[in-house]
């Protein structure tokens, strides 16, 4: 068994030399954390960790590099040169985006180097290629920080839980959406998005987050490990939080439900279903109380029951913590089993399972409208369990919301009923319908 070596023991050992690609919020936090926890990192890794190169787009700009950074980092602009430097053991890719990082990660893996990245998009889109390259060249790809920032979820599903199938994964994987849904208790959707932008959580174009696509990227990475194969995103039901309103949150309050954007994986005798969609969860559900930009994952399997992990899902330092944990694993030579190749062919729709649904329609404020809505639902066999039309005091008198709770029905069947509503009734806004999970 290995004892924590003293600093003098470690100075005789060969350093693990990394190149940082990118010095944005996360890159700076990684550099800072490597400084402030230098001895602890060396003790855990069994050897000193050195930052030998930092690659930034414009090296002439003033950079906030910690003065006592471990190593003698060369600040430069040439990623290819840094990757090809024979002194470098690993690259830490923190640039984001899918084009340049794809090239860099591939090149580094081809040269047998370790790659540590927080970039879920490049892995979700080009994972098959990159994991294949790593496999072929015997190099290792570490990506803990790409899913749920500070929550060590990849490590736990790779090593912490029993080997063997996980029956259900339920995740809040996008901190920006969770933050927006929280603000929706008091603000409109657009105002909530602005609040997320002001808090530094949402991009100027928030589409990737609020469309559910970012959650789907992360779900695909989790599924790759849990199922041992890649998941074609185009075969998934991916629904975002666009158009949700305080009316929907209020409905939740009235029924002891919390509104969350949920990424889910379900395995049963009928197959594997995967998808991302907003769901109402009972307030007693372990993920119902996840607030602000927190992320959380609920894992369920017969051997261990239910396991919940919750922590910060965004932010420079929380993400950096997982990046540094990966750097240490890489320096220790702990390779992660590469997911088996292959594509998940049979994906069922999580919307197929009948559950109660919440439905909100913005309809013209005229006599007969309710009857026509009820008729359309009845025609597709959708039963109404509860219905209300909240009084809108400041309405201009043209559109009013109708809120309905259905009896259990599949999302597909409900969508067929909604398609029966004519343009007039569906009006300008698309109907909002949300599954009520148990």
**101 or 275, CB closer to a copy of itself?**
101
Does residue 43 touch a copy of itself according to CB under 8 A?
A: yes
User: Annotated catalytic, 218?
Assistant: yes
Rounded CA-CA distance 50/72 in Å is 8
For 43-78, give the DSSP string. Answer: HHHTS-EEEEEEE-S-TTS-----TT-SS-PEEES-
- The C-alpha atoms of residue 308 and residue 286 are separated, in whole angstroms, by 7
Nearer to a copy of itself, 207 or 268 (CB): 268
Of 14, 67, 68, 164, which lies in the binding site for a copy of itself, with binding defined by CB under 8 A? 164
Q: Provide, rounded to whole angstroms, the least separation between the CB of residue 66 and a copy of itself.
A: 14
Complex with a copy of itself: residue 159 or 207, whichever CB lies closer: 159
| Least spacing, CB of residue 86 vs a copy of itself, in Å | 20
Contact between 307 and a copy of itself by CB under 8 A: the answer reads yes
Q: Does 371 bind a copy of itself (CB under 8 A)?
A: no
Report how far Cα 79 is from the mean position of its chain's Cα atoms: 27
Give the CA distances from residue 205 to residues 234, 273, 427, in Å, rounded to whole numbers and listed in that order: 22, 30, 26
Binding mask 252-291 for a copy of itself (x = CB under 8 A): --------------------------------x-x--x--
Do residues 105 and 93 lie in contact, with contact meaning Cβ atoms separated by under 8 Å?
yes
Q: Is 95 in the site for a copy of itself (CB under 8 A)?
A: no
The residue count for the chain: 438
173 lines the binding site for a copy of itself (CB under 8 A):
no
CA distances from 116 to 123, 233, 322, 338 (A): 12, 23, 10, 14
- How many whole angstroms separate alpha carbon 405 and alpha carbon 427? 20
H-run or E-run covering 404:
strand 399-406
Instruction: Tell me which of 105, 184, 274, 324 binds a copy of itself, using CB under 8 A.
Output: 324
* Residues 10-39 interacting with a copy of itself (rule: CB under 8 A): 33, 36-37
Rank residues 37 and 427 by Cβ distance to a copy of itself and give the closer one: 37
Please tell me the distance from the alpha carbon of residue 43 to that of residue 60, in angstroms, as a whole number. Answer: 35
- Which residue of the set 113, 120, 218, 260 is catalytic? 218
Give the total of residues touching a copy of itself (CB under 8 A).
Answer: 61
Stretch that binds a copy of itself, among 77-85, 162-170, 174-182, 246-254 (CB under 8 A): 162-170
Q: Could you give the string, one character per residue 140-159, with x where binding to a copy of itself holds by CB under 8 A and - elsewhere? A: xx--------xxx--xx-xx
312 binds a copy of itself (CB under 8 A): yes
CA–CA distance, 106 with 129 (Å, rounded to integer) = 8
Q: Which residues pair with 272 in a beta bridge?
A: 267, 347
Task: Give φ, ψ of 91 to 5 degrees.
Answer: -110, 145
Q: Which stretch binds a copy of itself (CB under 8 A): 75-83, 160-168, 188-196, 348-356?
A: 160-168
Neighbours of 131 (CB within 10 A): 19
Per CB under 8 A, the list member of 52, 117, 119, 139 interacting with a copy of itself is 139
Structure token digits, residue 331:
């320096």
Decide if residue 338 touches a copy of itself (CB under 8 A): yes
* Per CB under 8 A, 103 contacts a copy of itself: no
- In this complex, which beta carbon is closest to a copy of itself, that of residue 145 or of residue 418? 145
Considering the rule CB under 8 A, would residue 303 count as an interface residue with a copy of itself?
yes
68/190 Cα distance (integer angstroms): 43
User: Which are the contacts of 289, defined by CB distance < 8 A and separation ≥ 6?
Assistant: 258, 283
CB of 41 to a copy of itself, least distance (A): 5
Contact call for residue 329 and a copy of itself (CB under 8 A): yes
Distance of CA 75 to the CA centre of its chain: 31
CA angle 423, 428, 430 (to 5 degrees): 80
Q: What is the DSSP letter of 170?
A: E
Measured from the Cβ of residue 393, the count of other Cβ atoms closer than 10 Å reads 5
Residue of the chain from 67, 86, 305, 397 that contacts a copy of itself (CB under 8 A): 305
Quick note: the x/- pattern for a copy of itself over 198-237, rule CB under 8 A, is ------------------------------x---------
- Interhelix angle 25-36/316-331, rounded to 10 degrees, is 60
Say whether residue 7 binds a copy of itself (CB under 8 A). Answer: no
Q: The tokens of 225 are what?
A: 């490990």
Contact flag: residue 395 with a copy of itself (CB under 8 A): no
The residues annotated as belonging to the active site are: 218
**Residues lying near a copy of itself in the complex (CB under 8 A):** 1-4, 33, 36-37, 40-41, 43-44, 134-135, 138-141, 150-152, 155-156, 158-164, 228, 284, 286, 289, 296, 302-312, 315, 317-318, 320-321, 324-325, 328-329, 334-340
């Amino acid at each position: 068994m290995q004892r924590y070596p003293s600093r003098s023991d470690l100075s005789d050992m060969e350093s693990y030399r990394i190149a940082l690609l990118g010095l944005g919020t996360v890159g700076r936090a990684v550099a800072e954390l490597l400084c402030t926890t230098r001895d602890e990192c060396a003790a855990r890794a069994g050897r000193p960790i050195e930052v030998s190169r930092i690659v930034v787009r414009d090296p002439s700009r003033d950079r906030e590099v910690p003065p006592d950074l471990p190593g003698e980092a060369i600040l430069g602009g040439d990623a290819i040169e840094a990757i090809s430097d024979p002194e470098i053991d690993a690259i830490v890719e923190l640039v984001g985006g899918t084009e340049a990082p794809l090239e860099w990660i591939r090149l580094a893996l081809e040269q047998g180097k370790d790659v540590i990245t927080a970039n879920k998009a490049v892995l979700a889109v080009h994972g098959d290629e990159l994991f294949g390259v790593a496999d072929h060249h015997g190099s290792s790809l570490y990506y803990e920080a790409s899913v749920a920032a500070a929550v060590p979820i990849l490590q736990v599903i790779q090593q912490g839980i029993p080997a063997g199938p996980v029956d259900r994964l339920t995740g809040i994987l996008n901190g920006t959406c969770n933050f927006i849904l929280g603000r929706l208790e008091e603000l409109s959707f657009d105002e909530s998005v602005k609040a997320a932008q002001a808090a530094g959580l949402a991009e100027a174009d928030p589409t990737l987050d609020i469309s559910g696509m970012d959650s789907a990227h992360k779900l695909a990475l989790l599924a790759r490990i849990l199922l041992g194969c890649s998941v074609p995103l185009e075969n998934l039901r991916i629904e975002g939080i666009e158009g949700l309103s305080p009316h929907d949150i209020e409905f939740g309050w009235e029924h002891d439900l919390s509104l969350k954007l949920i990424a889910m994986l379900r395995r049963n005798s009928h197959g594997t279903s995967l998808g991302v969609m907003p769901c109402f969860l009972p307030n007693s559900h372990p993920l119902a109380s996840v607030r602000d930009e927190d992320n959380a994952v609920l894992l369920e399997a017969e051997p261990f029951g239910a396991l919940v992990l919750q922590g910060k899902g965004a932010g420079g330092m929380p993400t950096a913590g997982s990046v540094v944990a990966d750097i240490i694993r890489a320096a220790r030579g702990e390779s992660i089993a590469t997911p088996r190749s292959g594509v998940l062919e049979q994906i069922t729709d999580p919307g197929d399972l009948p559950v109660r649904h919440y439905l909100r329609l913005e309809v013209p404020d005229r006599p007969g409208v309710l009857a026509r809505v009820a008729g359309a639902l009845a025609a597709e066999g959708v039963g109404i369990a509860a219905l209300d039309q909240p009084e809108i005091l400041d309405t201009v008198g043209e559109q009013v919301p109708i809120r309905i709770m259905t009896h259990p029905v599949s999302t597909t069947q409900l969508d067929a009923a909604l398609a029966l509503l004519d343009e007039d009734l569906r009006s300008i806004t698309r109907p909002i319908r949300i599954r009520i999970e148990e």
